[in-house]
Chains A and B, each alone.
Chain A
Amino acid sequence: MNRVGPELDGLMWTLAEEGNERAIDEFGARHPELRGELLHRMSMVKGLRGAKKPQTVPRASIPRFVPREPKATPIQSRGPAVLVGGLVLAAIAAATFTFMTFLTPPVRPQPSAVNPKTTPKQSKTVVPVVPKVDTSPITEPDVVAKGNVSEATNVPVTLRVESAPLFKVLDMISLNCGIKVVPAPGMPNPSVAVDFERMSAMDMLADLGKRYGFTAFDQHDGSILVVPAVDKSGQTITSGDQGSIHNQKIGG
């Protein structure tokens, strides 16, 4: 029952340990309500001190000292068990991996968005002028994984062309950004001029699309399909989306 303040508590322990009778009497006179508690502590301290047994080993019978081999620590003594446990866990992990690999169906390759038979015919009248190109890619195109267009299209590239056919410019974007830009059949191939300063492929395609009327679609297979915004019948595909980037899948 420790209901006394810390100062009185400490004082009582000191009195109980020192056993000064005069000081104990004075304390009892000043704090009669704590006299019982003090006596209780005194008996406890006496009991604690008395718990020490008298010398149990006579000097003559002190065992001779012979240095022992150091005892194994708990970790060392459990070493073999830990090793076996680790091996069992590794075996379970390997078996689980093999089982899951066996269960998982093989990944089917994504069908190509562009039918090879519909590859646009190369115009014989293009490339009248050798374009003056200033390209300075921030990262090497080869570094970018070809299957991941979204990463590749975020790489900022500087591209300046005074005059060149659109397809040539698209090729330059492909080359510099490490992606594959595929013009859809029927895409016009006008002469274009570009001046892009540290722009991503998708931003460049969006800008070109606004100016020359086409839309770029991420095919999610490492290629971007460029389709004319207005088809031959004169109908706009989505007039509100002209020049915007679509992440929807075309064909397949």
Chain B
Amino acid sequence: MLVERFLKGDTRAFEDLYSKYYEKVFAIARGVLMDSDEAADAVQEIFTLVYRHLGRFDRRSRFSTWLFRVAVNRSIQEARRTRYRSRTVALTEALAKAAPEEPDTTDPKVQATLIKLTPADRALLVLFYWEEMSLQDIADSIGCGVNAAKTRLYRARERFRILFEAAQ
């Protein structure tokens, strides 16, 4: 409904879309980028893309699926662009940056392991463990079949396990 309204020229409808999905998109971006500030910046980029290209949404899938797909791809792209820079940042610094506004109650070893993964692997783990999306939704969000999504998720989890165990 909101999409239809926006495409018919109601700009307020996009603001509603933005408010409705901001948290979810921010969570995906933060999970992939491992940085709240960069995630907030990426969210603006993602919604700008959606704002400009909503006409391309073919309505064969749900709007949320299409939006998360844009969010995952854009976040991975952004993470790859900043990966080299991130590697030069000390791990403690990175962890401090991850949530400067609140006390971190998460396992620092898990955070450290997630930072070592590739953005694509992080995206899969974030969608599955954080957003608790089904394999079908993950497949739609990363643009592949269910079996491929399952295989990729398995591999990402294995890589996480190896790094996690090595850190112990």
Contact = CB atoms under 8 A, between A and B. Distances in A.
A67 B14 CA distance: 11
Contact of B51 (A1, A50, A55, A67): A67
Contacts of A41: 161
Nearest to A52: B130
B102 interface: yes
A35 to B, nearest CB: 17
Name which of A51, A57, A59, A65 has the most chain B CB atoms within 10 A of its CB.
Answer: A51
Interface in B120-165: 125-126, 129-130, 154, 157-158, 160-161, 164-165
A83 interface: no
A107 interface: no
Contacts, number: 82
Contacts of A52: 27, 31, 106, 126, 129-130
Interface stretch (B1-9, B15-23, B55-63): B15-23
A51 B111 contact: yes
Name which of A53, A62, A66 has the most chain B CB atoms within 10 A of its CB.
Answer: A53
What interface size band does chain A fall in? 20 to 34
A41 B162 CA distance: 11
Contact of A44 (B27, B81, B106, B164): B164
Interface string B82-125: 00000000000000000101101111011100100000000001
Contacts of B69: none
B70 interface: no
A66 B15 CA distance: 10
B23 A67 contact: no
A70 B48 contact: yes
State the majority secondary structure of interface residues on A.
loop
B14 A65 contact: yes
B158 to A, nearest CB: 7
A53 B106 contact: yes
What interface size band does chain B fall in? 35 or more
A55 B25 CA distance: 12
A56 interface: yes
B38 interface: no
A45 interface: yes
B109 A47 contact: yes
Contact of B157 (A13, A53, A68): A13
Contacts of A2: 158, 161
Interface in A39-94: 41, 44-45, 47-53, 55-57, 59, 62-63, 65-68, 70-71, 74
Given A65-B47, A68-B44, A71-B45, A53 B102 contact: yes
Interface of B: 14-15, 18-19, 22-23, 26-27, 30-31, 36, 40, 44-45, 47-49, 51-52, 81, 99, 101-102, 104-107, 109-111, 114, 125-126, 129-130, 154, 157-158, 160-161, 164-165
Interface of A: 1-2, 13, 41, 44-45, 47-53, 55-57, 59, 62-63, 65-68, 70-71, 74
